Amino acid sequence: MGVKKRWLFAILAGISLLSLLPGCAGEKATPTETEPPGTTPIPSIPPIPPIPVDEVSLEEAERIVGAPVAPKYLPAGYEFRRGFVYYQPAPHLNLYFSDEEMPGEVKTVQDFASLTHKKFILNVDQVAEMPSSDIHEGMAGQHGGKVVDINETKGWLLVEAGGGQLIWFQPGLLLDLSIVNPIPEQELELVKIAESIG
């Protein structure tokens, strides 16, 4: 008789426990914090269509923007390797300088990511209006870095452990010189390259 009572107690305890669970008690389960709320689904963002690029020489790049953009100074071993142009709607140039060959098929802007070599990249954009004269101070105040002089023109320079970036303007052009993968004296090298353009 004692065994039957224990079994009966165990069954009743189990039924009581199950009745506390929302699914077994016929109650609607309330979502926990880890479950997503029952909201309308977020619409998917369509992928950005590939932006086609054309490969260009340094001479062609200069003809496109109507100004000299080839550096007369590069660190030892570095040279122009590849150049590309695309339009948004004004021309945008991506010029690559490296101490090694840069093979690989590049048909769209998205393909630039495949050029993972140690390199300097000079981006050149035509601009309709020149910015205010204090833009570089504003960038330094907002993003860090400092204001530097490039042939009596202000530029904004940011150098970090992984590389550096130098942005300045020439009449009608925005120039953005960056280095991917650090090199010795990269701050000095970025300024020297910039000063040799034009």
Query: Which of 11-15, 83-87, 121-125, 191-195 is the least confident region?
Result: 11-15
Kindly tell me if the per-residue pLDDT of 173 is higher than 90: yes
| pLDDT tens digits for range 149-165 | 999 999 999 998 788 99
| pLDDT tens digits for range 81-110 | 999 999 988 999 999 999 999 998 999 999
| pLDDT tens digits for range 47-64 | 878 899 999 999 999 999
State the pTM of this model. 0.73
Type of residue numbered 40? T
Task: State both tokens at 51.
Answer: 């932006």
